[in-house]
Structure 1
Amino acid sequence: MAINNKKSDNNKNTNFDDKKFKYIIYYAIIVTLVVFLINDYFVNTEVKHIKYPQFISMVEKNEIKEVQFGTDRIVFTTKEGTEFEKKTLYTGKFQDSETKLKEDLDKRGIPYDKPLPKPISPLKSFIINWILPFFMFMALGRFLFGRLDKKMGSGVMSFGKNTAKIYAESETGVTFLDVAGQEEAKESLVEIVDFLHNPKKYAEIGAKLPKGALLVGPPGTGKTLLAKAVAGEAKVPFFSISGSGFVEMFVGMGAARVRDLFNQAQEKAPCIIFIDEIDAIGKSRDGAIGGNDEREQTLNQLLAEMDGFDSSKGVVILAATNRPEVLDKALLRPGRFDRRVIVDRPDLKGREDILKVHAKGVKISDTVDLNAVAKSTPGAVGADLANIINEAALRAVKNSRTEVIQEDLSEAVEVIIAGKEKKDRILSPKEKRAVAFHEVGHALVAALLHNTDPVHKITIVPRTMGALGYTMQLPSEEKYLITKEEMFDQICVMLGGRAAEEVEFNSMSTGASNDIEKATSTARSMVTIYGMTERFDMMGLESVSNRYLDGRPVRNCSAETESAIDEETLSIIKDAHKKAIDILTENRELLTKIAETLLEKETIMGDEFMKIVKGEDND
């Protein structure tokens, strides 16, 4: 069952009711005005104007029955048998002649008086005092609420309506062919798609459709893309809403929207509901002081609805989060979210496949090696790789090329990692020399140790992200485990920049701040998380929180133990620092030679650097 460019029936009915209500208001106002004008016309047609001389003539002929003096006119009625028999007439009033006129009227016995206020008909009074104000305020309120609806993004006049969008197959335009680097995740979701297409073969064996699948992974790995791909493959209605869309300023509206969403879904079954960033409403209720807040009501309603619907009808709930550790246990139990699909950072092959997918719409040279780009981007997610392809295409256009070449992709990788070249930042010769020795110190320590990644590039060209230069290392193969020796050598490489400054200049600069931060974090992890010291053995002193975000550690020890951890971390840092200084002191001439070459060329690639280290350079 597919929907082509249509909204839900509920939205249709809401729009139809709004239009119908608006037309009724306009119709009522028009009818009221017409009735008012017609009534006023007939009332006014009963009174006729005549000229003052004619009035005086009628007074002299004694044809007047009664006269009333108004502020600006004289109103009178005529006797029977006259030209204007039993008609109400009026004429203009002249103050100078009023006294004489009254004398003539007294002489002829014609009664006169000041007019009473003109009586208003009951219909006219009712319309003016009740009908018109009512409809005017209704129209004004409708106008103001309509403006407020647009600003708030949801209906003020329909608080309980959900804000979920329904995407049809043609609107998502995404299938599993558009998702690369997540083969295991796709395999878990393919079964759900197949169940929606062929429910009978699963029903025959007694298998039930999973009620929900939770997509978990770091930002940018393609969780939302996978959900859209499931909708594109299943060809069923796809309800998409963010977790924050349930909770708004009105208490109880979140629970009402959850009910409305599931009611719509059951009417459209088979279908898929996708809740992005479900942690906005699904946070754990453990330790909560207040038990009646809006978010908790919404979560309780979501739990009740997930228990209440029949999965055999084909309603599948997909949710995405990068904070699974904060979700409520009741939400994660089997029968609600039966599957947890890990959408993690892609490996080398996955990165290459992702690059191929994003390169389909870009003109790329046949000489481009996407595998080399994938090797140079360890830890990158799908969003990063898409950005790299786009940056490379922009660079090709900037350099007046009709296709992307390898140089564009290499520069794009560096732009993502370190920022663009900052050409207006000119260093003094002294600073430039310090930066050169600092970067060569990193590279040389990395080259002379056994457990480090190969050096790919050394440069002293400043970048927009604050780096005055950088040394890029790329792994020769994909690694999933790191040994103690490798971690210690990594710390030595990080401290190699400061060590080179001390060896060459016997001084220190602020350029090593980021190196010190990373080295301290790595050394602390060796002590507290990985159990790589004799003093604490395999005792877990810290645990990682927000694994898929910043991965900050949480302390699980006393303050006294914390002091001992600092001492052990400092010991590792000192050992690594001393080792880096020893390596560079022993290779002082090589350090100077490479630094002088870097000062001359500003950038040295990995192959050229290794030739100098091995003594194979032209000199």
Structure 2
Amino acid sequence: MDNKKKRQSMMLYAIIAVVVVVVLRSVVYPNVVGQSVKEVDYSTFISMVDDNKVEKVQLNTNNDSILFVTGEGDGAQTYRCNAFPNDTTLVKRLEDHNVQFAAEIPDESSNMLLYALMIYGLPILLLILGGWFLNRQLKKSMGDDGPSMSFGGGGLGGFGKSGAKVVAEKETGVTFKDVAGQDEAKESLAELVSFLEKPQRYEAIGAKLPRGALLVGPPGTGKTLLAKAVAGEAKVPFFSISGSEFVEMFVGRGAAKVRDLFKQANEKAPCIVFIDEIDTVGKRRDAGLSTNDEREQTLNQLLTEMDGFDNHKGIVVIGATNRPDTLDPALLRPGRFDRRVPVELPDLAGRKAILALHADDVKMEGSIDLDVIARATPGASGADLSNIINEAALRAVRMGRSRVTQEDIQESVEVVIAGEKRKSTVLSDKEKKIVAYHEIGHAMVAAAQKGQAPVSKITIVPRTSGALGYTMQVEEDEHYLVTKEEAMEQIAVMCGGRSAEELIFKQVTTGASNDIERATKLARNMVTQYGMSDRFGMVALGQVQNRYLGGDAALTCSEGTAQEIDDEVMRIVEEAHQNALKILRENQFKLHELARYLQVKETITGEEFMAIFTRDNDFLPKREDDAS
């Protein structure tokens, strides 16, 4: 333990001693020395006798002083004054006022000694004992003096202990069979399991066990579940701790926790140490004013421990984060986190596998088609899909059914995406009409463009997310690339609702705010990231920040170029807007027909929409593969 930590510990106990002094002076002292002797002059004594306030008087001939008492019981108070020489009337005065001047008065001076001991002696004693005890415990908690004595945690109040939870000694109860939709990540981690199960095979050829693996991906994709599955497959102890648990108010405590964590891991080896949200403690170090000494000390200790432990014992550190761009380069280098395992959002096949995995735990009808649900949930994480199945089960119970139906699951998809139906919100006839034309505008622009996903549902029932209605599109196949034409068509679909309002009502409302936001974001990405602008060409003008957390792109250009980017974004959105207006003008009769139909039914399926839209309509493009 260094001198800095000693000084900090002693300062802490000095503060505690000051607090004790204040408490004793304000609470204990009045009770202890409430009977202390007060000094007054002789005239005051005579006045109090004449006022019949004095109960007892003792004449002290040794030092010519007078002790007298006023009041009785708890209200008694002792006074002292100097005797007046040759006052022959004092005895008669005392007799006239019935004062017991011959009574013995207890000496209260001993209370002053008790007061001094409690006010000054006790804090000094506490400071000495506390400093000795703290010094001893810090030495033990940091490994300087054998095993530490603890108060339910180790060190002083558990400060030196890591707080890591041992999830299981041998089996976590989770294996790779319990993880769906992450086949590539499981393949990358399967070798760690082999290392932990049979390390001698790799030692024989001279291979070294990887010290760590870093799981990176969006929230809800199953990073913690994968780490547990590795431990479950290898049947080794699994230590789990969050990065935030290392960072504390007291300097040095985080580093002590790291040391204790790896000490426990050495005792349980082979094992897995899982650090969730490792970016909390592993952020990039810099010389800025916002640096955190405690966090940096903890990171330095983590780097040292990962370099120092014997990997032949079979200790693997698995970290998880959704902000890998903020991690310190020293933490990511080979020899610490040797492997970086992406845990991305599942594709169509992965979503179907995840839905099937969670559906096994729920009673369902035999006619459930999970493929339809998987197609309707692009971009959903494993946690989202699990929530969809659970919401479907809850809805089945509310409806009084013993099994989940297809309708329950489809409704739960809408609940997760747009929220519950708002039964308390009742639209006026005028607003209902505007919303109907708005949603049909989206649907018609989408149906009239061959590169857009088919419409599956249109509704004008308000939802708790704030949407007064929505148009749902479901892709027929999984797409990983988007052409410039398809991006322009997507923006046109987003402009379809506002365009319908302009065309029919000759005015605009606030209902298109979300559409405008999405259209502007896509247009800006086309210019700054995708190189889809004729004006700028194939030049990156922005950099994505916090990609796994849905972060926007920060511009990496001059102010003049930023102004030109704004002009280009406005041009792209306006071009798509005019395209949407053109489609709606050419199909205005169908727009009126479908809007009236939607006002009456409030919710229609994609089949109903297409049946009306394609009836006697030759404008629709042919949906065929242009590459064939």
Give me the TM-score of the superposition, normalised by structure 2: 0.74
- For 2:572, what is the secondary structure of its paired residue? helix
Amino acid across the alignment from 1:425: T
Q: Whole-Å Cα distance in 2 between the matches of residues 153 and 583 of structure 1?
A: 70
Q: Quick check: 1:555 aligned with 2:540?
A: no
Alignment-derived partner of residue 82 in structure 2: none
Q: Whole-Å Cα distance in 2 between the matches of residues 199 and 177 of structure 1?
A: 23
Alignment-derived partner of residue 435 in structure 2: 435
Would the alpha carbon gap of residues 474 and 420 (structure 1) be closer, same or farther in structure 2, given more than 3 Å must change?
Answer: same
Alignment-derived partner of residue 301 in structure 1: 301
- Kept in 2, the 8 Å contact 1:217–1:321? The answer is yes
Give how far 1:249 is off.
Answer: 1.1
- Kept in 2, the 8 Å contact 1:169–1:232? The answer is no
Q: Whole-Å Cα distance in 1 between the matches of residues 465 and 491 of structure 2?
A: 23
Q: Whole-Å Cα distance in 2 between the matches of residues 406 and 516 of structure 1?
A: 33
Amino acid across the alignment from 1:454: P
Q: Whole-Å Cα distance in 2 between the matches of residues 255 and 364 of structure 1?
A: 51
Alignment-derived partner of residue 74 in structure 1: none
- Kept in 1, the 8 Å contact 2:418–2:464? The answer is yes
Give how far 1:291 is off.
Answer: 6.6
Q: Quick check: 1:569 aligned with 2:574?
A: no
Please say which of residues 288-297 and 425-434 is displaced more in the overlay: 288-297
Q: Whole-Å Cα distance in 2 between the matches of residues 311 and 505 of structure 1?
A: 72
Amino acid across the alignment from 2:350: G
Q: Whole-Å Cα distance in 1 between the matches of residues 172 and 268 of structure 2?
A: 17
Q: Number of aligned pairs?
A: 484
Alignment-derived partner of residue 406 in structure 1: 406
Alignment-derived partner of residue 172 in structure 1: 172
Alignment-derived partner of residue 41 in structure 1: none
Give how far 1:252 is off.
Answer: 0.5
Q: Whole-Å Cα distance in 2 between the matches of residues 299 and 509 of structure 1?
A: 53
- Kept in 1, the 8 Å contact 2:151–2:157? The answer is no
- Kept in 1, the 8 Å contact 2:171–2:235? The answer is no
Alignment-derived partner of residue 20 in structure 1: none
Q: Whole-Å Cα distance in 2 between the matches of residues 438 and 447 of structure 1?
A: 15
Alignment-derived partner of residue 525 in structure 2: 525
Q: Whole-Å Cα distance in 1 between the matches of residues 129 and 393 of structure 2?
A: 56
- Structure 1 unmatched ranges of 5 or more: 1-113, 118-129, 143-149
Alignment-derived partner of residue 490 in structure 2: 490
Alignment-derived partner of residue 445 in structure 2: 445
Q: Whole-Å Cα distance in 2 between the matches of residues 456 and 611 of structure 1?
A: 12
Q: Whole-Å Cα distance in 2 between the matches of residues 273 and 213 of structure 1?
A: 10
Q: Whole-Å Cα distance in 2 between the matches of residues 583 and 209 of structure 1?
A: 62
1:176-255 correspondence to structure 2 within 5 Å: 176-255=176-255
Give how far 1:263 is off.
Answer: 1.3
- Deviation per CA, 1:550-604, whole angstroms, max 9, x where unpaired? 2211110011111000100011011111111111011100100110110111111
- For 2:345, what is the secondary structure of its paired residue? coil
Give how far 1:138 is off.
Answer: 10
Q: Whole-Å Cα distance in 2 between the matches of residues 613 and 173 of structure 1?
A: 53
Amino acid across the alignment from 2:609: F
Please say which of residues 204-213 and 607-616 is displaced more in the overlay: 607-616
- Kept in 2, the 8 Å contact 1:169–1:231? The answer is no
Amino acid across the alignment from 1:173: G
Give me the TM-score of the superposition, normalised by structure 1: 0.75
Q: Whole-Å Cα distance in 1 between the matches of residues 225 and 190 of structure 2?
A: 14
Q: Whole-Å Cα distance in 2 between the matches of residues 524 and 518 of structure 1?
A: 10
Q: Quick check: 1:544 aligned with 2:540?
A: no
Alignment-derived partner of residue 10 in structure 1: none
Q: Whole-Å Cα distance in 2 between the matches of residues 601 and 151 of structure 1?
A: 67
- For 2:547, what is the secondary structure of its paired residue? coil
Give how far 1:430 is off.
Answer: 0.5
Q: Quick check: 1:612 aligned with 2:609?
A: no
Q: Whole-Å Cα distance in 2 between the matches of residues 459 and 366 of structure 1?
A: 28
Q: Whole-Å Cα distance in 1 between the matches of residues 263 and 196 of structure 2?
A: 19
Q: Whole-Å Cα distance in 2 between the matches of residues 442 and 329 of structure 1?
A: 47
Would the alpha carbon gap of residues 572 and 291 (structure 1) be closer, same or farther in structure 2, given more than 3 Å must change?
Answer: closer
Alignment-derived partner of residue 323 in structure 2: 323
- Kept in 1, the 8 Å contact 2:171–2:231? The answer is no
Alignment-derived partner of residue 117 in structure 2: none
Amino acid across the alignment from 1:260: D
Give how far 1:288 is off.
Answer: 3.2
- Kept in 1, the 8 Å contact 2:452–2:490? The answer is yes
- Kept in 1, the 8 Å contact 2:172–2:238? The answer is no
Alignment-derived partner of residue 467 in structure 2: 467
The higher radius of gyration belongs to 1
- Kept in 1, the 8 Å contact 2:457–2:472? The answer is yes
- C-alpha root-mean-square deviation of aligned residues, in Å? 2.8
Give how far 1:286 is off.
Answer: 3.2
- Kept in 2, the 8 Å contact 1:365–1:403? The answer is yes
- Structure 2 unmatched ranges of 5 or more: 1-103, 108-120, 134-149, 618-628
Would the alpha carbon gap of residues 563 and 271 (structure 1) be closer, same or farther in structure 2, given more than 3 Å must change?
Answer: same
- For 1:554, what is the secondary structure of its paired residue? strand
Alignment-derived partner of residue 108 in structure 1: none
Give how far 1:154 is off.
Answer: 8.9
Q: Quick check: 1:367 aligned with 2:367?
A: yes
- Deviation per CA, 1:140-193, whole angstroms, max 9, x where unpaired? xx9xxxxxxx99999752321111011215773211111000011111111111
Q: Quick check: 1:458 aligned with 2:458?
A: yes
- Deviation per CA, 1:384-407, whole angstroms, max 9, x where unpaired? 000000000000001111100100
- For 2:158, what is the secondary structure of its paired residue? coil
- For 1:157, what is the secondary structure of its paired residue? helix
Q: Whole-Å Cα distance in 2 between the matches of residues 152 and 249 of structure 1?
A: 20
1:32-71 correspondence to structure 2 within 5 Å: none
Amino acid across the alignment from 2:570: L
User: What percent identity do the matched residue pairs reach?
Assistant: 62
- Kept in 2, the 8 Å contact 1:154–1:163? The answer is no
Would the alpha carbon gap of residues 449 and 269 (structure 1) be closer, same or farther in structure 2, given more than 3 Å must change?
Answer: same
Amino acid across the alignment from 2:254: G
Alignment-derived partner of residue 35 in structure 2: none
- Deviation per CA, 1:103-150, whole angstroms, max 9, x where unpaired? xxxxxxxxxxx9x99xxxxxxxxxxxx99xx99x999xx9xxxxxxx9
